[in-house]
Amino acid sequence: MSTGPTAPGITKAGSVEALPIWRNFSWIFLGTVIYGICQWGIIVAIAKLGASWQVGQYALALAITAPVMLLANLQLRQVLATDARGAFHFGDYLSLRLLTSAGALSVIGVLIVVLGLSSDGRIVVFLVATAKAIDSLSDIFFGWLQSTERMHAIGLSMGVNGCISLLASILVMYLTHSVVAVGVASAVGSSAGFLVALSGYSSSRRLRELAGIAKSSRLLDITGPLWSLARLSLPLGAVMFLISLNANVPRYFIQRDLGAGQLGVYAAVGYVLIVGMTLITSVGQAAIPRLAKYYASGDKTAFLKLVRLLLVLGCLLALAAILLVEIAGRDLVLLLYGREYAGNLEFFRLLTLAAGLGFIGSFIGYAVTAARYFLAQAPLYAAAVGVTAVGCALLLPRYGLTGAGWVAVGSAALMLAGGAAILVVALRTMETGLPASRPSRSSTLSEGLQGTGSAR
């Protein structure tokens, strides 16, 4: 590891030239679209070659593992990518990710035991958790590549992961008609993606640095920079946990009140909207390092110009999704899944409206995260989880999946409004001016937690 506080991934021996933002976007967009469509394709494969309850079984495994893994990830990729002042070394991020991933797998292991799942259900949850843990290791290398605005390896890794996972899932589902085999296929695809991500990071010097991390006691030193980094990133990890929990709470209630078959319908139909969210994610990931640099340097004009561009794109995508579902929603569901999934699709229209609000809110969230207002987001998303849980408890028994759609709309509207309010505060803070010198690691931590100090 380097000994000075150089920027993540940039050594004292030289700097890494960033690609133009349009090329970064092209790479990460391509990789994210391929990965997203392939994940959707896995759902389609299970629906076509299996039954709706099997889609529900796989969706429940995702719903159990996703919140835990996102909390454990602490969104270190975003923290690394927006660490424009180089407050922490790459080894700190990697070591913390290894520790938290191990903890997440332990928690999921306990959940497997206490939730009373079937034997196949337990195995599926375990395999999905394993795949997510491998993805989390790729993710931290993505953060390094993202911090240097070199997205080609990210795109390649995600594309390889998605394609291998999908092709293997189709093959094993055709041969075995077992969701357990699909879990194995997902883990294989994640492993292939990790190898590509590692190759994108690798050089003789950086591999020696990783070997040094493994041989040293740094991994066990939780009182030094790892503790500081964990404290800084915990609010953002909590926010992502709450976002994931908010998205998955309806699935828990549907499983309990309506059964695995209806959960399969809800999950499969909702996955149609993944194309829009995939585009949002790829654009946001490409833009966030640039947003962070604009905010850290106090360039409010450039920051606002990029934010406005993102919001216009979000609005256009929301409108396009709503029109598409209104015009061809039923035909699309019939083509992809079959008649079992194309009954009452009123909830599909509502989910599309909620997704459109989410497109806009996600771009606001990227801007808020680039400003490193991590802690301020937690109460907002906690409130959204509460609204979702209460709404599901009240509406699902009476209105079924349509009730879940109305709950999604209300929750998305709340998150959009709250995110906008936080962004306004961040912009007002930006007007107060920024310190000329780089803050110390402790001051960076304090400001990141408070969300009210100078930008980093």
Is residue 440 pLDDT above 50, yes or no? no
Amino acid identity at 112: I
225 pLDDT band, cuts 50/70/90, is confident
**Confidence at residue 316, expressed as pLDDT on a 0 to 100 scale:** 93
Whether the pTM exceeds 0.75: the reply is no
Cβ atoms 138, 162 nearer than 8 A:
no
Amino acid identity at 432: T
Is residue 272 pLDDT above 80, yes or no? no
Is residue 6 pLDDT above 50, yes or no? no
The pLDDT of 200-216, averaged and rounded, is 52
Query: Which DSSP letter does residue 438 get?
Result: P
Query: Tens of pLDDT along 369-386?
Result: 888 787 777 888 889 999
Give phi and psi for 30, each to the nearest 5: -60, -50
Structure tokens at 3: 């000994």
Query: Tens of pLDDT along 78-103?
Result: 778 766 666 777 777 888 888 899 99
282 pLDDT band, cuts 50/70/90, is confident
**Confidence at residue 283, expressed as pLDDT on a 0 to 100 scale:** 82
CB within 8 A of 210, min separation 6: which ones? 91, 94
Is residue 66 pLDDT above 70, yes or no? yes
Cβ atoms 151, 287 nearer than 8 A:
no
The pLDDT of 309-322, averaged and rounded, is 92
State which H helix or E strand residue 54 sits in. Answer: helix 52-73
Distance between CA atoms of residues 97 and 383, nearest Å: 28
* Length reported for the chain: 456
Instruction: Name which of 274, 244, 235, 234 is nearest 384 in CA terms.
Output: 244
Instruction: Name which of 358, 413, 401, 415 is nearest 269 in CA terms.
Output: 401
Burial class (CB in 10 A: 0-12, 13-18, 19+), 393: middle
Cβ atoms 157, 193 nearer than 8 A:
yes
Query: Tens of pLDDT along 137-152?
Result: 888 888 777 766 666 7
Is residue 325 pLDDT above 90, yes or no? no
- Choose from 194-203, 252-261, 276-285 the range with maximum mean pLDDT: 252-261
